[in-house]
Structure 1
Amino acid sequence: MTERPSPARVAVVLGGSHTGMLTAGALAGLADRVVVVERDELPRAPAPRKGLPQAGHAHMLWSGGVRAMEELLPGITEALLAAGARRAPVTTDVVALSAHGWFRRWPESHHVVLAGRDLLDATVRAHVLADERVEVLEGTEVLGLAGGAEAVTGVRVRARDGRERTLDAGMVVDATGRGSGAPRWLAALGLPEPERRQVDTGLAYASRLYLAPDLARDGFPVVNVQPDPRDGNPGRAGFLLPIENGRWIVTLNGTRGGEPSSAGDDFLPFARERLRHPLIGDLLARAEPLSDVAFTRATVNRRYFYERMPAWPDNFTVLGDALAAYNPVYGHGLAVGAQSALLLRELTRRHGFGASGLSRRVQKAVARPVGAAWDFAIGQDVFYPGATEDGPTLRDRVVAAYVSRLMHTATGNGRIARRVTDVTSLERRAEVLLAPSVLLAALVGPLKPALAGPPLTAEELKKAGLQ
């Protein structure tokens, strides 16, 4: 009979989605056994699941996240591409209308990986679960933490048949997403309420799958129409992402007073008439709808500042959307989850599994990528009416003014466009935008005149049936 590992060498990961699975992969080999606790039954192939309603919307994985995933799971990028995912160079294969006009398509500086969320999750899940040290408890609900204010010793769970038990563990990681019960669980251990900030624009999301026109099923660029927060109107935006099997996933969104609807008949008119440019609607008019409209309002920016708590228990860490959830329009959640899992692995290797103070070190370290994504998310959202109780802070206003100037400069300066994508890709920290040469370039502004229209090539227009 195989001897069971000591509870001190067992890691329990709460949540089996993107961040949870990457966390399990990060801890395999550092713990003797990794147990993933998941409320849903996980599909064995790319397919929807009840606990992930956002899977019906557009997702992209910035290169900062791709690189972290590759370090955690060598070969995962190749596996995704082999399964049909697409690697799109940035900004070469991006046609984007910013608040300051159309961005030029500069030579590649970074990239994104584009795939349906079901395909992405299934591919990562298969890689992680191929390791026999990782197991999944499906259909299992988390009830709370075991232990006390100084250290967590496990997690209390309930199986689908109603049976309750405690899983003893030397490390517990919460990756349960937006619905995390961590504040409640910590309070039950006698810890204080964490500092929290929330920015709610009232954003609603509507997404639909399309089959691209025949000639546009391979190599078509990403198309993005952004809002202009300065025009006094609700913020409306649209994304068209080419994904696997010749399909486009299209997401339309709007803040309070400008929301799209869940009705299929409204989707094309919204894209054509309510966005700042009709390009996405014109493209969809020549594509074939493949699905109903997926609709959600779960888009609040919310961050817990666990790293600032006066006390933090050993052996417990919060990652992913359970720590900070962003307006999905910026596409940073997946990348931050991957980078956070990698930081967890690096610090656990350095200090040792179960080391005193390790969890606090991890919580402070992951605040860096979380903070970078947070600043991008709220930098624009905080200015929409009703987004916060007190409106934007002085820091919010200063940061937004500078970022706005940088974005204006990036429409006509390739070097500054690269610096901006250094940060939006989560490959470099925001400090690079404060270098003297960048500050001077922002003062000067764009070096090239504004584009008169979307920078699609004649061949792309022909492929899409627009010429």
Structure 2
Amino acid sequence: MSDHRPTAVVLGGSLAGLLAARALSAGGARVTVVERDALPAGPEPRKGLPQARHVHQLWSGGARALEELLPGAIGRLRAAGVSRVPMTTDMVALSPYGWYRRWSESAFMLPASRDLTDWVVRQLVLADGRIELVERAEATGLTGTERAVTGVRVRADDHTVRTLPAGLVVDATGRGSRAVRWLTGLGLPAVERREVDSGLVYASRLFRAPEQARHGFPIVSVEPDPRGAGTGRGGVLMPVEDGKWIVTLFGGRGDEPPSTGAEFARYAREELRHPLIGELLGGGAEPLGEVAVTRTTANRRHYFERMPAWPENFVVVGDAVCALNPLYGHGMAVAARSARVLGEVVRRQGLGRPGLARDVQKEVGRTVRAAWDLAVGADVFYPGATEKGPTLRDRVMAAYVGRLLYTATGNGRVARRVTDVTALERGAETLLSPSVALAAAVGPLKRPLAAPPLTARERRAAGV
């Protein structure tokens, strides 16, 4: 490696940080990734990623970005047993407006355990000789001024502190990011922020699927209805690698899902809007391990792109910019797409060019917008989600989206457009086209389904 290469430091060695490091190395930089944990050698749990116990999926909009950054990544995941699930062909989902039909493929999804996804990405990224990993170390602050960041102070696990100079510092430290505090410490104004907290609590458990249902079984989702009489009860059964199912149940304030195995299946069977997930668990699924619970589900966005001034050489990505309710499964896709735009701006402008960091931050803000609007547009209607409740814009948009979702239960073209936007394959403006608006006004073209659209083979395989 040439000593004259520009240098970058990425804070955080999870998915967002590793993909940002890859984007920077492809742009010609030597990159140091600073990670607080000791990263495992295989697809194993780690302390700093407790949310890995819950369902994770990579929507196709994020999968395409991942493949652009790391050619061969999807092949590695498929070789490790991850299915490519066509949407909505292989999904059985109960929306607030009824069961969706299983339409022909539009977008797709890669469902996998988070540990496996991180491991595959970690292997590919750290094989790049331009990227160095520093483990068991934590960033304690930025160096520089309000005009330009020059590096970052890092404390190792032996409490020694050193400064890493850098031409670019990228904060990918997630929900626990201290970027806002660091910026005000440099003399910059407070960052505009919005939080929408549905109050949903998640409980997840891993199962060995019944033998005949270990391959080719659809994803099953019983969605909550934040505008209905319930309190957000719902669940997802996600087939993952090695013939396993990850099942995540959720409930709102005062109606939390159980944290014990004995109550887990009962909640799925008796407390959701439909007992399908509980019935599937009772058809021969074998529990593997205990129930994992998390209460960190609030949507939180920092509008760094709106700052009146922004220092050179500092960028924030991932959950540190926009943390989303895991219910919608967009976190990994947003991380991959944000890393891709980071790489695009760096390649276009070159590291060290004045205004680069601000341009990247604006592009990241645009990239997270669709996922943010999708999550907040639903979660804002949960009791207590915000201090003032839904805005007029929230109500107008929710009414239109609700009409689209209702139409999607019996109109394949609308269902595919909604799926494309959900998968981050298309922008939300797709749903505002005259043809889609007209279809929404007309409503479903087919009668509602009276039962979940499982095939006879799937029912036999799952023992129901």
* TM class by smaller structure: over 0.9
Q: For residues 322 and 14 of structure 2, what CA distance do their matches in structure 1 show?
A: 15
**Displacement after TM superposition at 1:265 (Å):** 1.2
Aligned twin of 2:255? 258
**Displacement after TM superposition at 1:3 (Å):** 6.5
Paired residue type of 1:429: G
Q: For residues 289 and 257 of structure 1, what CA distance do their matches in structure 2 show?
A: 26
Aligned twin of 2:422? 424
**Displacement after TM superposition at 1:5 (Å):** 4.7
Q: Give me the identity figure in percent.
A: 64
Paired residue type of 2:324: Y
3-state SS of 1:155 partner: strand
CA contact (8 A) 1:29 1:133 kept: no
CA 1:456–1:311: 2 relative to 1, 3 Å: same
CA contact (8 A) 1:209 1:291 kept: yes
Mapping of residues 16-415 of structure 1, within 5 Å: 16-285=13-282, 286-415=284-413
Moved more, 249-258 or 22-31: 22-31
3-state SS of 1:86 partner: coil
Q: How many residues align?
A: 463
**Displacement after TM superposition at 1:362 (Å):** 1.0
**Displacement after TM superposition at 1:276 (Å):** 0.2
**CA offsets 1:420-463 (integer angstroms, 9 cap, x no match):** 01100101110010000000000000000000010000000010
Paired residue type of 1:212: A
Paired residue type of 2:248: T
Paired residue type of 2:169: V
**CA offsets 1:145-168 (integer angstroms, 9 cap, x no match):** 111111111111100111101100
Q: For residues 228 and 337 of structure 2, what CA distance do their matches in structure 1 show?
A: 35
**CA offsets 1:288-347 (integer angstroms, 9 cap, x no match):** 000100111011110001111101111111110010101100000100000000000001
Paired residue type of 1:465: G
**Displacement after TM superposition at 1:202 (Å):** 1.4
TM-score normalised by length of structure 1: 0.98
Q: For residues 403 and 44 of structure 2, what CA distance do their matches in structure 1 show?
A: 42
Q: For residues 29 and 18 of structure 1, what CA distance do their matches in structure 2 show?
A: 17
- Unaligned runs of 5+ residues in structure 1 are none
**CA offsets 1:17-53 (integer angstroms, 9 cap, x no match):** 0111111111113243110000000001100000000
Q: For residues 131 and 228 of structure 1, what CA distance do their matches in structure 2 show?
A: 45
Q: For residues 453 and 254 of structure 1, what CA distance do their matches in structure 2 show?
A: 23
**CA offsets 1:336-363 (integer angstroms, 9 cap, x no match):** 0000000000011111112111111111
Paired residue type of 1:178: R
Q: For residues 7 and 398 of structure 2, what CA distance do their matches in structure 1 show?
A: 45
Q: For residues 251 and 439 of structure 2, what CA distance do their matches in structure 1 show?
A: 32
Paired residue type of 2:153: R
**Displacement after TM superposition at 1:197 (Å):** 0.3
Q: For residues 214 and 229 of structure 2, what CA distance do their matches in structure 1 show?
A: 37
Q: For residues 460 and 81 of structure 1, what CA distance do their matches in structure 2 show?
A: 22
Paired residue type of 2:156: A
Q: For residues 17 and 396 of structure 1, what CA distance do their matches in structure 2 show?
A: 33
- Unaligned runs of 5+ residues in structure 2 are none
**Displacement after TM superposition at 1:225 (Å):** 0.1
CA contact (8 A) 2:9 2:31 kept: yes
CA 1:20–1:451: 2 relative to 1, 3 Å: same
**CA offsets 1:51-110 (integer angstroms, 9 cap, x no match):** 000000000000000000000001100011101111100000000000000000000001
3-state SS of 2:289 partner: coil
Aligned twin of 1:451? 449
